[in-house]
Amino acid sequence: MKFLILIYTNPESRQIWENLPADQRSAGLRAYQELTDELTASGELIVSGPLADPSHARRVTVRDGQPLTTDGPFAEIKEYLAGFYYVECDSAERAIEHAARVPGLDAGVRVEVWPMRTLNDFGVDM
Amino acid sequence: MNVDDQLRELAPQVLAALVRRGGDFETSEDAVQEALLAAATQWPDEGVPDNPRAWLITVASRRRIELWRNESARRRREEAAAAMPEPAPVPEVDDTLTLLLLCGHPALTAASQVALTLRAVGGLRTDEIARAFLVPEATIGQRISRAKQRIKASGATFSPPAPDELPARMAAVRHVLYLIFTEGHTASSGTALHRVELTTEAIRLTRQLHALRPDDGEVAGLLALMLLTEGRRPARTDPGGALVPLAEQDRRRWDAAAIAEGTALITDALAHAPIGPFQLQAAIAAVHAEAATADDTDWPQILTLYDLLASIAPGPMVTLNRIVAVAMVDGPAIALDQLDAAARDPALAGHYRVDAVRAHLLDRAGDHDSAREHYRRAAQRTLSLPEQQYLQSRANRRP
């Protein structure tokens, strides 16, 4: 089963993170790297990545057939997407175990585990 | 036979030949993969060599030596071992079985067993497996190398497991083949160009296993189940690509040859082998298949088979399917009572299939409004996109 693990952060958590002593910050980054390495080694990782600061995000709409981009309103948002893991695991429990290892969950970072839809339909007409 | 089919036939033989000549499974398997890749590029242009098997063995052996040279002194000691005299030839059919059993090693995750089986026994290339599973090539490559590391760490070698381990290992192999089949079972395949049909590949490998172990009733049952399920495939979708439920399929569009083969297989297995879950599922599929129309279905016989299945291999899906059969034999009211009881099982609590079955039963009971509500709920929660579309269409149907 494929799952999208979404990692959210907020300006306060970001602030805490940026004010951490260097050694604690590098410990956090190491924890991220270890999680990514283990998911890669186990063959469960499909793709993952950190997202750029929300100030770089663009909202895209279409008006009269023309794409239109706007900058916000990301400045005031309380919480924003910071990164993701796209994984394939034998069970939802396993995906949740991985998600629980995302660093910073005790400091305001939040994760969500979303199962992907499948195209598989075995057993539907059984 | 086209080049791809030929390579898939030869792959396990070439791998076994290499391992027999004193190689470790891990490096030999990589070398064979590269030889297959070379053949897939060269043969279509330059023609298939006179002795394709010998060609592959030569190329793979050379590649293996290169792989060894690239590695450490520890590897070089193994190379010395490779110079040992070639062992007496053993029938190739046994090699395929040994490979299948090795790929079903209990130290591996199911996903790794599947990937390794498709590559080492199925002769598929990593990129083909990746496309079939809709993941990047690197992910499949990692699953395979991880699987081989685990096999190595477990101390397993290219030899049949101990007799006391054999039944569990055969069960694992059957499960892997079943997973390959179910993974490939989708109405919307073929979107990616040259996507390997996993159902076809699962049937091919199970056919090989059945030829090697004709007395294993569960292998016969699994092959029969696959053939009977695959045989319905042409009628499973309407021209718009939407799923058509079994009861509404145009049975003239079924693949009669596949269904006849599956029926003959399961009839023979039931007469000669101890009963097992795959045989019972195949028998149920065969009873459906022998009915000229949905109304001719022998539901009492299907219910008897589900009763047996529930006693030897109980599970939430068996419970639900059995309840559908109960509705056909004893009426929807009794089935709805049984569904209420079944829904209290924690394994089924909140499961969308309970809603889907309830909707089906309510429809049969004539309560179409409630049925639509349950179809809608089920559609919302299924993970399968084709199933969601089907359930939603039921929810929207006017009485």
Interchain CB distance below 8 Å, B146 and A41: yes
How far, CA to CA in Å, does B266 sit from each of A125, B58, B279, B288, B302? 20, 42, 7, 13, 15
Which residues have C-beta within 8 Å of that of residue B83, sequence separation ≥ 6?
B22
State the nearest Cα–Cα gap between B57 and chain A, in angstroms: 29
Q: Could you report the per-residue pLDDT of A11-67, keeping only the tens digit for each?
A: 888 888 889 999 999 998 999 999 999 999 999 999 999 999 888 888 899 999 999
Half-sphere exposure of B368 (CA within 13 A, CB side): 6
Nearest CA in chain A to B289: A126
- d(Cα B177, Cα A6) in Å, to the nearest integer? 33
Q: Could you report the per-residue pLDDT of B172-198, keeping only the tens digit for each?
A: 999 999 999 988 887 654 454 446 689
Please tell me the predicted confidence (pLDDT) of residue B331. Answer: 97
Half-sphere exposure of A100 (CA within 13 A, CB side): 6
State the nearest Cα–Cα gap between B188 and chain A, in angstroms: 7
- d(Cα B226, Cα B240) in Å, to the nearest integer? 25
Q: Measured between CB atoms, which of B110, B385, B390 is closest to A117?
A: B385
Q: Could you report the per-residue pLDDT of B116-161, keeping only the tens digit for each?
A: 999 999 999 999 999 888 899 999 999 999 999 999 999 888 888 8
Residue B118 gets which letter from DSSP?
A: I
What is the rounded end-to-end Cα distance, in angstroms, of chain B? 51
Question: Minimal CA–CA distance to B119: which of B98, B97, B141?
Answer: B141
Half-sphere exposure of A87 (CA within 13 A, CB side): 29
Q: Measured between CB atoms, which of B139, B183, B249 is closest to A46?
A: B139
Q: Could you report the per-residue pLDDT of B38-57, keeping only the tens digit for each?
A: 999 999 999 999 999 999 99
**What percent of chain A clears pLDDT 70, i.e. is strictly above it?**
93
Among the residues of chain B, which ranges form H helices?
3-20, 25-46, 52-69, 73-82, 92-103, 110-116, 126-133, 137-154, 166-184, 198-212, 217-231, 256-272, 277-290, 299-312, 316-330, 332-342, 352-365, 368-381, 385-396
| SS3 of residue B204 by DSSP | helix
A15 touches B: beta carbon within 8 Å: no
Would the pLDDT of B81 be above 70? no
B109 touches A: beta carbon within 8 Å: yes
Residue B194 Rama label (left phi>0; alpha psi -120 to 50; beta):
left
Contacts across the A-B interface (CB distance below 8 Å): 84
Question: Minimal CA–CA distance to B67: which of B31, B25, B40?
Answer: B31
Element (H, E) at A30: helix A22-41
Q: How far is CA B128 from the centre of its chain?
A: 16
CB contacts under 8 A, A 49-108 vs B, are 88, 90
Interchain CB distance below 8 Å, A122 and B185: yes
8 Å CB contact between B80 and B90: no
Neighbours of B188 (CB within 10 A): 14
* Packing angle of the helix pair B198-212, B166-184 (nearest 10 deg): 150
Among B74-88, B98-112, B200-214, B285-299, whose mean pLDDT is lowest?
B74-88
Please tell me the predicted confidence (pLDDT) of residue B399. Answer: 65
8 Å CB contact between B317 and B311: no
Q: How far is CA A97 from the centre of its chain?
A: 15
Q: Please report residues of A whose CB lies closer than 8 A to that of B187.
A: 119, 121
Please tell me the predicted confidence (pLDDT) of residue B248. Answer: 93
8 Å CB contact between B253 and B232: no
Q: Could you report the per-residue pLDDT of A72-115, keeping only the tens digit for each?
A: 666 677 899 999 999 999 899 999 999 999 998 988 999 999 99
Tokens of A16: 């805490």
Residue B191 Rama label (left phi>0; alpha psi -120 to 50; beta):
alpha
8 Å CB contact between B184 and B233: no
Most confident of A4-13, A116-125, B63-72: A4-13
Say what the pTM is: 0.89
A124 touches B: beta carbon within 8 Å: yes
Please tell me the predicted confidence (pLDDT) of residue B85. Answer: 47
- d(Cα B328, Cα B303) in Å, to the nearest integer? 9
Half-sphere exposure of A103 (CA within 13 A, CB side): 16
- Across B321-345, b (16+ Cβ under 10 Å) vs e yields bbbbbbbbeeebeebbebbeebbee
Phi first, then psi, for residue A112 (nearest 5°) are: -130, 145
Q: Please report residues of B whose CB lies closer than 8 A to that of A90.
A: 109-111
How far, CA to CA in Å, does B382 sit from each of B121, B158, B377? 33, 42, 9
Tokens of B202: 């699962």
Which residue of B116, B134, B139, B375 is the best one to mutate when testing the A interface, meaning the one whose CB has the most A CBs within 10 A?
B139
- d(Cα B50, Cα A82) in Å, to the nearest integer? 58
Q: Measured between CB atoms, which of B244, B249, B383 is closest to A115?
A: B383
Q: How far is CA B298 from the centre of its chain?
A: 28
Which residue of B387, B390, B392, B394 is the best one to mutate when testing the A interface, meaning the one whose CB has the most A CBs within 10 A?
B387
Confidence of residue B1 (pLDDT cuts 50, 70, 90): confident
Please tell me the predicted confidence (pLDDT) of residue B13. Answer: 92
8 Å CB contact between B39 and B6: no
A123 touches B: beta carbon within 8 Å: yes
Interchain CB distance below 8 Å, A121 and B243: yes
Please tell me the predicted confidence (pLDDT) of residue B76. Answer: 57
Please tell me the predicted confidence (pLDDT) of residue B184. Answer: 82
A117 touches B: beta carbon within 8 Å: yes
Nearest CA in chain A to B232: A125
- d(Cα B277, Cα B293) in Å, to the nearest integer? 26
